[in-house]
């Protein structure tokens, strides 16, 4: 990790603006259904409060598009934070303004407050400098611990760093370190499992990983495009037929690089993606024209698991099918079990994969479960994340 972290600076008595990722799902009753991202931020929050900092938390939730949306308020988050910390965490009515400033200025070392959803202001996603300066004015130091938003050039992830010193939180540092080592110095063999709906979303990731991995395993809806590119009929399956040429190029590059690229050999099909739908298993070259491939089949699961058993480093990003709709969850759960059984480093790249691992009860058996979906993809693609780039380098020590 080449960036300064909270452990490299003196935070005692300082007002510290901490960008966290509390974009958590909330049900119709206002209850949080998955608090993984809140729990992941606890080490940084506890470290700062325990070191005598005045901790000001800022986050987004949902996509309110610059307007106040009651369902996207952070009230449930404040409640869950209090449960984790064993004390009440005040949630302020806004994230900027005189009332917010007054509360922050009254804070004592060790105090923690939560600002209201930063995306209630349109200036946030525009990275408006005036808005960023108002946020920065609440603090002496900025800590970015929101890996899940680090690929966004927003005021609360990038803009504030122009006005106050900026360092990494413990979670963000862990994310960058673990995944960075996997990409640059992996224990071999190094395998990657990619799933999800579209090739277009991950073509950059695939092309970057071809030069780094020993084997690529591709499932989910995106596998249909590769099967189609090989001349197979895919029925009514999700398939980006306009990306077939790109898929052929990827297949050719993999062959030339000596990288094994595994695709499903059988799939689970049905007439529609629906819970309890009548499903059957067919070979990939026998998908009925009125059916959809909605999961990898048992033979594919076995083939993928046998391959992963050889790995010493594995990265998994994306489900093998419509895993949120039983009976189309079996392939994804099988991959979760195979990744958890890897004798080496296992990394799960956020989003649906994170949910699948948690559903399978295997989180504790994974080396690192990333909290960032889109950010993980951009990182695996080899892109510099704006929210990381603005943080101070370790050579620039001596913050006051």
SS3 350: coil
What is the model's pLDDT at position 197? Answer: 87
Q: Tell me which architecture the domain covering 188-343 has in CATH.
A: 3-Layer(aba) Sandwich (3.40)
Other CB atoms within a 10 A radius of the CB of residue 177 amount to 16
Q: Tell me which architecture the domain covering 6-174 has in CATH.
A: 3-Layer(aba) Sandwich (3.40)
pLDDT (tens digit, 9 = 90+) per residue, 253-309?
A: 999 999 999 999 999 999 999 998 899 999 999 999 999 999 999 999 999 999 999
SS3 255: helix
Torsions phi, psi for 341 (to 5 deg): -85, -5
What is the model's pLDDT at position 400? Answer: 44
CA distances from 156 to 145, 254, 335 (A): 11, 39, 36
Q: Say whether 37 is catalytic.
A: yes
pLDDT (tens digit, 9 = 90+) per residue, 7-45?
A: 999 999 999 999 999 999 999 899 999 899 999 999 999
Other CB atoms within a 10 A radius of the CB of residue 108 amount to 8
Q: Say whether 243 is catalytic.
A: no
Please state the pTM of the whole predicted model: 0.90
The catalytically annotated residue of 351, 372, 373, 387 is 351
What is the mean predicted confidence (pLDDT) over 62-85? 97
> Would the pLDDT of 396 be above 50?
no
CA distance 179 to 46: 24
Other CB atoms within a 10 A radius of the CB of residue 275 amount to 10
Q: Mean pLDDT in the chain?
A: 95
The catalytically annotated residue of 198, 253, 312, 365 is 198
CA distance 374 to 353: 12
**Residue 118's closest CA among 108, 126, 110?**
126
Supply 280's token pair.
């059957």
Name residue 16's beta-bridge partners: 55, 141
Domain spans of the chain, in order of start: 6-174, 188-343
Q: CA angle at residue 92 from 91 to 94, to 5 degrees?
A: 135
Residue 373 near residue 340 (C-beta atoms within 8 A): no
What is the mean predicted confidence (pLDDT) over 171-195? 95
CA distance 13 to 342: 44
**Residue 196's closest CA among 12, 347, 320?**
320
**Are domains 6-174 and 188-343 of this chain identical in fold?**
yes
Sign of CA dihedral 169, 364, 325, 334: positive
pLDDT (tens digit, 9 = 90+) per residue, 342-373?
A: 999 999 986 788 888 988 999 999 999 998 88
Reported confidence tier of residue 397, pLDDT bands at 50, 70, 90: very low
SS3 51: coil
Q: Say whether 374 is catalytic.
A: yes
What is the model's pLDDT at position 1? Answer: 67
The catalytically annotated residue of 82, 110, 374, 382 is 374
pLDDT (tens digit, 9 = 90+) per residue, 88-104?
A: 999 999 999 999 999 99
The catalytically annotated residue of 3, 37, 61, 80 is 37
Q: CA angle at residue 37 from 31 to 42, to 5 degrees?
A: 105
Residue burial 113-128, b: 16+ Cβ < 10 Å; e: rest: bbbbbbbbbebbbebb
> Would the pLDDT of 376 be above 80?
yes
> Would the pLDDT of 398 be above 60?
no
CA distance 114 to 329: 37
Supply 326's token pair.
């039983």
């Amino acid at each position: 990790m080449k960036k300064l972290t909270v452990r490299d600076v003196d935070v005692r008595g300082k007002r510290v603006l901490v960008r966290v990722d509390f974009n958590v799902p909330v049900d119709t009753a206002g209850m949080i259904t998955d608090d993984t991202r809140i729990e992941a931020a606890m080490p940084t929050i506890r470290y700062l409060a325990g070191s005598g900092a005045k901790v000001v938390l800022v986050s987004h939730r949902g996509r309110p598009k610059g307007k106040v949306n009651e369902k996207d308020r952070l009230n449930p988050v404040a409640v869950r934070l209090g449960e984790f910390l064993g004390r009440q965490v005040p949630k302020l009515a806004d994230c900027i303004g005189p009332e917010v400033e007054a509360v922050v200025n009254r804070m004592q070392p060790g105090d923690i407050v939560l600002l209201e959803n930063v995306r209630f202001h349109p200036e946030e996603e525009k990275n408006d400098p005036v808005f960023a300066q108002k946020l920065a004015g609440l603090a002496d130091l900025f800590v970015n611990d929101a890996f899940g938003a680090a690929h966004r050039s927003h005021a609360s992830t990038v803009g504030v760093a122009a006005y106050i010193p900026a360092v990494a939180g413990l979670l963000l540092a862990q994310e960058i370190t673990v995944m960075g080592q996997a990409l640059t110095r992996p224990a071999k063999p190094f395998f990657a499992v990619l799933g999800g709906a579209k090739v277009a979303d991950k073509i950059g990731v695939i092309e970057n990983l071809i030069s780094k991995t020993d084997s690529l395993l591709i499932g989910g809806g995106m596998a249909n495009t590769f099967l189609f590119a090989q001349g197979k009929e895919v029925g009514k399956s999700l398939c980006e037929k306009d990306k077939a040429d790109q898929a052929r190029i990827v297949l050719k590059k993999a062959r030339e690089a000596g990288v094994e690229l595994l695709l499903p050999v059988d799939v689970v099909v049905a007439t529609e993606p629906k819970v309890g739908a009548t499903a059957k298993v067919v070979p990939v070259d026998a998908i009925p024209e009125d059916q959809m491939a909605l999961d990898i089949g048992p033979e594919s699961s076995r083939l993928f698991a046998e391959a992963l058993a050889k790995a010493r480093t594995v990265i998994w990003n994306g489900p093998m099918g419509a895993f949120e709709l039983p009976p189309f969850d079996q392939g994804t759960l099988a991959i979760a079990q195979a990744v958890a059984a890897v004798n080496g480093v296992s990394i799960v790249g956020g989003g649906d994969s994170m949910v699948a691992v948690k559903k399978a009860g295997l989180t504790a058996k994974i080396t690192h479960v990333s909290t960032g979906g889109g950010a993980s993809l951009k990182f695996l693609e080899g892109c510099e994340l704006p929210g990381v780039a603005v943080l101070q380098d370790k050579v620039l020590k001596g913050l006051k």
